[in-house]
Amino acid sequence: MEICLLKRKAQLYGNPPSFEVIEEFERAIESNGQANISIIRNDKVLLPEAYKLVFTRLGSSVNFPSIPNRNNKSIFSIQMGPDFGKVLPYSLRNKNVYGYFFDIWPRSFNSIEHFLTNSGIKHIFLSSQYTTRILNNKGFLNVSWIPEGVNLNEYKIIAYDRKDIDVLELGRKHQLIHEKIVDDLAKSGKKHLY
């Protein structure tokens, strides 16, 4: 079976640090020798934004005819948050479209429910077990939880007494806390990474 991996340039999102997670996941899929992977680039600027606007703001599932029909392939997309513009052109015209979504939180629930109801996507996988449970309880059976993972070959365990980082800000930076600690840590000679 051929799997088409739907990719989009980080620059189109302003090069957010979170995009590295998507790119790492995409590289892992591409390097999997057990599947025939091809790449679909969705690097257009206006069309994905038009889909997203029409779909999320107007509540419509307009089918733009300029998107090629790929019904014989499975299309897979990895997305940060409810970025439906990346996958909508394909999910509206193809029956085998799947997505993995990081960071679908309560403020996005109405959008994700509308997406699941109207987009034609076959199945989505979520990084959030909480969100998956809520959507399953609402009758969305095409939603599964797959937790984020670590590549054990790249993960290094260091003995506690050899660790030299005093404060590590990992994930999204909480600006208020960051501003309160950054100067004091620097003045006291503490190693602070963020």
What pTM value is reported for the model?
Answer: 0.70
Question: In the chain, which residues fall in CATH 3.40.50?
Answer: 2-145
What does the pLDDT look like over 157-177, one tens digit per residue?
778 888 888 998 877 678 889
Give the torsion through C-alpha atoms of 3, 113, 127, 24, to 10 deg.
40
Domain 2-145 has CATH 3.40.50: yes
What does the pLDDT look like over 44-77, one tens digit per residue?
766 666 666 666 655 544 444 444 554 567 899 9
The parts of the chain modelled with pLDDT lower than 50 are: 60-67, 70
| pLDDT score recorded for residue 19 | 80
Planar angle of CA 166, 169, 174, nearest 5 degrees: 135
| pLDDT score recorded for residue 66 | 43
